Structure 1
């Protein structure tokens, strides 16, 4: 006789919101069964959220069209996006075919494949999805955006003769660099210079770096979810991470590399808190710290992204040696670049000065973009996330006691998340999503970002997408809605990135 695994319901008083009660399996084998069917209140809240999502996006484009027609927004052709309107038809067929196959196959692949194999398959499909979307713009769509005179590669000759002198005088000579170089710290240029020195120069290899690293964030985020919650939760999120609308700008913007750096730094931190190998914990924490320490030197707008690894620390309560190793890693990149002559605050000041005297984003209306930027964030995350978001936020509101008591942390003896996932199954997702949202609020309301956020939001949106793991699986309808959102944007919007 085959013994069937027992099921037990987790009460909503244990940190799960009413209507999102989870079903926990005592069978140790990984299952891909989702977190349970939503109740009537949850479904109603989800439908309202989707209506608000659609209305907010429509309002942002309607007000943007009116402002441009009135001469109040001349800097953007299609506000709130920095893009032009267009219409693609048959060119979208390859991407639509990839989407159809992925929607049909991804839930089954994620459920049946061994965990490492499932991650590699997800990475490959995510990269294919990004390439298929970009290829609708033509054969050179993967490299042409990187060849623009405003991009990083155009400024590479200024760095090549003496990169150390370039770094030491970066802030003083900022006004003479290309637009993207002026708007960022020096680390992105140094990465491309290293790529060039390794014999992999040019737009083609840069595209490989961006697409390969950006799509690999699917693995990093899934690993983080597995460490903090459970393999079941991670498997539930993987299809949505693969077909997420940010794939539109994974090929090819430097922000895809920013996404990968933050995601892998956070994943290594999560691994360091979940492993039982003490030496391995310290190595993972140190390398995670190195990647996380690089974030403010890749983009000034990545500073609020630290809310996500902070959420990992709150959830996992790492041992003091792990925190020490993390701190040592965090200071590595800042120490090296400071020793090379670049002072971060001088870079911020110089970038702000060039921002004020240049045309473009400095002239944009704060009042409009304060809400329109969030409409773009909704476009990046998609309707499936809008439907799941009330549940995630409700869990976060109902579970502060779990965070303070540490019951959401791994068990001290085994490092396992089994007990905490049973008590608070949605809390890790809710906290990661809430942390990413907090980062976007900080960035948006500070006025640092006004427009062009379709790429700036990518490192943040990727951490909001795991909210889709709250859907009852396989959730192919919501997965199709996500893919359709990306296809619609690609067909109607021509972006320079």
Structure 2
């Protein structure tokens, strides 16, 4: 029943998107709605590689999940799967996705004084100023831009290095989530995660990997996990919605209140240390967030209709997690926590479209319920990813 409902939701979003785009071009700002991209059937050098990797994971994935080196094998395979999906669109597109006028790398050459950039960051968030930040930089805290500035400073500047970095960091989610939930059986489903289409390459794919590592660390070392999740707050404002997943990571059945309280205390101490470091450097998170809400409605966020995206976002989500993700939805603390985060983001009105990449840090956790599914569902995951990637020329 869940698969049928998801299928109908996707079909309704596609049909409604086609109708709206035909009658009012430019309203949705997504010609392949609910996906941000263009309807353009195509293949590329990554097609045979993606087919081969999908075949091998379907054939051997469940057995390899029990291998003593399951985690490193899964990480390498997920990286190759993500890269092969990106190569369906070609190398040139892969290496330029983060270099456009709207992206982070556009601003990197202008950052010659990092402390001054952080101190004056909020002054450049609003649009229609001579020195307004480009779209993606203005829409995020300074940590995202700082990441790419740091890459540039160590000699890894340019679109190729940035895109590869996003894939390598994003793929860490494939090993962090099984460690957090304590079940390697989900590994093959995480490897063939359809959302990998948008990990290669988008900064949100990188955010997904960092967030997953932070959540895992909370289950073992709350202070360290708190520091990583504190850093996440300065990668994207939306990652404040990791809070339900953080609580799920800190809560263990049977624990006394005092034990949980100590874990929460250590986690908060780590996160607040990062917040304090940015505050001392001149950036206050709440000020940035209030200005970003204004900036959001200075652009296409003001045009895109809430009435369509509030439900079409969920259709995009169904494509991101794939049929196995939908089938595996159940009463599980990880799935419930991710669902709460996604629902809050959806209803906020600040997630109108492009959620196939923006929600990656939450969506990937919905695959926690796939552990008991058989290899037929791996086939469904691969077919979904390959179909979307070959039919739609995505913007990321």
Q: Same fold by TM (over 0.5)?
A: yes
Using the alignment, how far apart are the partners of 1:128 and 1:141 within structure 2?
17
Q: 1:223 to 1:166 in 2, by over 3 A?
A: same
Counterpart in 2 of 1:432? 334
Instruction: Please give the residue correspondences for 1:109-124 in structure 2 after superposition, counting only pairs within 5 Å.
Output: 109-111=64-66, 113-114=67-68, 117-124=69-76
How far does residue 194 in structure 1 lie from its aligned partner after superposition? 1.5
CA deviation after TM superposition for structure 1 residue 94, in Å: 2.2
CA distance in 1, matches of 2:273, 2:164: 27
Q: 1:70 to 1:131 in 2, by over 3 A?
A: same
Q: Is the deviation greater in 51-60 or in 143-152?
A: 143-152
Partner of 1:42: none
2:161 aligned to 199, 205, 212, which one?
A: 205
Q: For residue 142 of structure 1, report the CA deviation from its aligned partner.
A: 2.7
Tell me if structure 2 keeps the 8 A contact 1:237–1:468: yes
Task: Give the equivalent residue in structure 2 for 1:311.
Answer: 248
**Bigger mean CA deviation after superposition, 55-64 or 90-99:** 90-99
Judge conservation of contact 1:83–1:495 (CA < 8 Å) in 2. Answer: yes
1:77 is matched with which residue? 31
- Asked if the contact 1:158–1:166 (Cα under 8 Å) also holds between the matched residues in 2, the reply is no
Query: Contact between 2:43 and 2:89, CA under 8 Å: does it hold in 1?
Result: no
8 Å CA contact 1:301–1:448 kept in 2: the answer is: no
Instruction: Answer whether contact 2:28 2:303 (CA < 8 A) is retained.
Output: no
Q: 1:74 to 1:459 in 2, by over 3 A?
A: closer
Matching residue within 97, 102, 105 for 1:153 = 105
Report whether the alignment pairs 1:129 with 2:66: no
SS in 1 for 2:161: helix
The 1:220–1:90 alpha-carbon spacing in structure 2 relative to 1, beyond 3 Å, is closer
**Cα RMSD after superposing both structures:** 1.5
Cα displacement string for residues 2-36 of structure 1 (whole angstroms, at most 9, x for unaligned residues):
xxxxxxxxxxxxxxxxxxxxxxxxxxxxxxxxxxx
User: Counterpart of 1:170?
Assistant: 121
Equivalences for residues 414-425 of structure 1 within 5 A: none
Q: Is 1:340–2:281 an aligned residue pair?
A: yes
Separation in structure 1 between the aligned mates of residue 339 and residue 28 of structure 2, nearest angstrom: 29
What 5-or-longer segments of structure 1 have no aligned partner? 1-47, 227-233, 272-283, 397-429
Is 1:301 the counterpart of 2:238 in the alignment? Answer: yes
Aligned residue among 163, 187, 198 for 1:249: 198
Distance change in 2, residues 1:266/1:61 (3 Å): same
Contact residue 268 and residue 287 of structure 1 kept, 8 A? yes
Q: Does structure 1 retain, via aligned residues, the 8 Å contact 2:44–2:90?
A: no
Cα 1:305–1:148 shift into 2, 3 Å: same
Count of residue correspondences? 385
The secondary structure found in structure 1 opposite 2:34 is coil
Shift of 1:461: 0.9
Q: CA deviation at 1:315?
A: 2.7
How far the C-alpha of 1:487 sits from its partner, in A, is 0.3
CA contact 2:320–2:356 (8 Å) conserved in 1: yes
Q: CA-to-partner distance for each residue in 1:71-113, whole Å, 9 max, x for gaps?
A: 16252222222110111246522211211112112111112x1
* Map of 2:21 onto structure 1: 68
1:158-237 pair list within 5 angstroms: 158-159=110-111, 161-174=112-125, 175=127, 176-226=132-182, 234-237=183-186
Contact kept? 1:382, 1:485, Cα under 8 Å: yes
- Asked if the contact 1:240–1:466 (Cα under 8 Å) also holds between the matched residues in 2, the reply is no
The CA deviation at 1:308 is: 0.6
Q: How does 1:394-473 map to 2 (within 5 A)?
A: 396=331, 430-471=332-373
Does the CA contact (< 8 Å) of 2:216 and 2:249 recur in 1? no
Structure 1 stretch 243-252 or stretch 173-182: which is displaced more? 173-182
Q: Which has the larger radius of gyration?
A: 1
What secondary structure, in the 3-state scheme, does the structure 1 residue paired with 2:24 have?
coil
Q: 2:2 aligns with which of 8, 30, 49?
A: 49
**Structure 1 residues 89 and 137: alpha-carbon distance in aligned structure 2, compared to 1, 3 A threshold:** closer
- 1:24-43 equivalences under 5 Å are none
User: Contact 1:75/1:361 (CA < 8 Å) preserved in 2?
Assistant: no
**Pair 1:366–1:74, CA change in 2 (3 A):** closer
In 1, Cα distance between the equivalents of 2:262 and 2:323?
Answer: 42
Counterpart in 2 of 1:98?
A: 53
Separation of aligned partners in 2, 1:462 and 1:338: 31
1:239 paired to 2:185: no
Distance 1:52 1:299 in 2: 31
Deviates more, 1:481-490 or 1:192-201: 192-201
Q: Distance in 1 between matches of 2:157 and 2:237?
A: 25
1:455-478 C-alpha deviation (Å, 9 max, x unpaired): 01111111001111132xxx1110
Aligned to 1:6: none
What TM-score, normalized to structure 2? 0.94
Question: Is contact 2:74–2:187 with CA below 8 Å preserved after alignment?
Answer: yes
Q: Provide the secondary structure at the position in 2 that maps to 1:172.
A: helix
The superposition leaves residues 168-211 of structure 1 with CA deviations (integer Å, 9 ceiling, x where unpaired) of: 11111223111110111111011111222222222222122211
